[in-house]
Every structure is written in structure tokens, then in C-alpha cells.
Amino acid sequence: MWDYSEKLKDHFFNPRNVGTIDKPSGVGEVGSLACGDALKLFLKVGEDGRIEDARFQTFGCGSAIASASALTEMVKGKTVEEAAAISNQDIADFLGGIPPEKMHCSVMGREALESAIANYRGEAPPGAESKIVCKCFGVTEEEIRRTIQEENLQTVQEVTNYTKAGGGCGKCHDEIAALLWEVRGEKEQAEAAPEQGPSRLTNFKRIKLIEETIEREIRPGLVQDGGDIEIEDINGTNVTVALRGRCANCPSSDVTIAQYVQAKLRELVDPDITVQEAK
């Protein structure tokens, strides 16, 4: 049983601003009935650029209803620019918190708001041209990338909690994992200090850094997804590893080696490193 705050339960049992607006200034629609969650947000913007009214229609769980209700209360009286700065975490905080498994409801609220503001401005909805990764719930690559970055997500399950991606048939799990590794790698690279470059590495230091990087940066991510990794051999820039757990029998183990393990070691240790799986 999930632990819902009293404020969230109040907005579920007594939702505010349910309905439509006659001649709205902007309309945003996200999700679909086929996916299990759908939200349509209506905005009325005054001549001074402030949101005079906000209403919604939704199909979804209690957290989805509460999130939409909270959002309409939050945007009233704000300028369009102020409303655009509202994040899904702001919605969750307004409700006194949302269970991790239901955070996608607050994300859906933020996306509906962004879509309604884009409609008001005469622009295309954000991510309209982005590739769909999760076909079960219609979640795009841009949505997943952005949520990973903003929420500092670490596992496929966290991505599912925040976006619903991967919560259906599960066929997109490998692609979600690849996006996690890519986005996290880009972030770590941006934060890395210049003096971490490999040009001054001795062989001893390289081996030590490879071991530390696998233990600190690579192994935790695999363990969280039910896998593991062990170093079999290090010969100069050639690294041999063995995948364990779920990773050992995964049909995408080659992707794990090339796009995650090797890419991470090349990024943080030495760009000449090659990684192969022990046979």
C-alpha cells in the first residue's frame, strides 16, 4: 500500500477546477486512454499575460487526478513565464509528496502544462518530433532523456516510475538502459576535472583506475538491474571482463560491454581502452 499525504488525498477526493474552458487561450493534451493515463489541460490567459483560469479533464489514478488538480491551483494568477518554470517536483511538493511509483503523474502534469503553453504561443508541443521509445505508453526519447537529467535517475525502474516507459511489455528496457548510460556519461564528462586526462597514466595507475572506475561507476548500475561484473584480466589498454547475474544471459550483453563498460572506461580512464567479454 502506497503512503499518500493528506493533501494528495484531499485533491483526489475533492479535485479543484475539473472541466473545460470556453474559448481557451491554450490547450495541452498528453497520454491516451489506451495507455491508461490521459490529461487535457485548459488555460485562460488575460491581456496582462497572467493565467486567469485553468481547468482539466483526466483519466487516471488518484495521483493523476490530484496532480492535475494541484497544477491548476498552482498556475492561477501566475504569468505564462512563471507557470512555465513549474516542475514536476514542484507539483509533488505542493501535494506533500507523491509515492515514487506514481511520480509519472506529476511528470504528466508538467508535460500537459508545457503543451498548453506551446499551444497558447502558437508553437509545436515539446518533443513532437522525438522518437518514441516506449510504444506501450507513447513515451519519447526526449522525455526520457530530460527526466533522467532533471531527476538524476539511475535505474530503468526509476525511469518507469517517472515516465511509465518500460512499464508495459518491457521490450524497451535495453533502450532505456542505453539512454541512462548515455545521459549519465554526458553529465559525468561535463563535471570531470581537466586533470583527469589519461596522458600521464603509468601502467600501474591505469590498472588501479580501471579497477576503481568499474567498482565505483559501472558495477553499481549493473547490480541495481540484477547483474554484476568482474575483471578477468588487464593487459595494457585491453580489459577482459565477465558479466554475471542477469547480464550474463542478456541478449544485449554486447551492447552493455561496448556502450556502457567500454565507453565509461574510455571516458574516465583512457580513450584507447578496449573491453571484451571473457569466453
Does the pLDDT at position 207 exceed 80?
yes
Determine which one of 105, 136, 247, 250 is catalytic: 105
How far, rounded to the nearest angstrom, does the alpha carbon of residue 157 sit from its chain's CA centroid? 10
DSSP code at position 194:
G
Active site residue 105: yes
- pLDDT per position as a tens digit, 32-51: 766 668 899 999 999 999 99
- How large is the C-alpha radius of gyration of the chain? 22
Determine which one of 35, 134, 136, 172 is catalytic: 35
Mean pLDDT taken over the chain: 88
Tell which residue, 248, 108, 265, 117, has the closest CA to residue 198. Answer: 265
Does the pLDDT at position 174 exceed 70?
yes
Tell which residue, 113, 91, 105, has the closest CA to residue 137. Answer: 105
Q: Please give the residue that has the higher pLDDT: either 192 or 170.
A: 170
pLDDT the model gives residue 240: 94
**Per mean pLDDT, which range of 73-77, 113-117, 185-189, 209-213 is the poorest?**
185-189
Domains and CATH numbers, the chain: 6-121 (3.90.1010.10), 132-189 (1.10.10.1100), 195-277 (3.30.300.130)
pLDDT band at 226 (very low <50, low <70, confident <90, very high): confident
Residue 98 to residue 33: CA distance in whole angstroms: 22
Residue 212 to residue 100: CA distance in whole angstroms: 31
Does the pLDDT at position 193 exceed 70?
no
Tell which residue, 126, 32, 148, 14, has the closest CA to residue 69. Answer: 14
Does the pLDDT at position 196 exceed 60?
no
Q: Are strands 274-277 and 227-235 parallel, antiparallel or unpaired?
A: unpaired
Active site residue 172: no
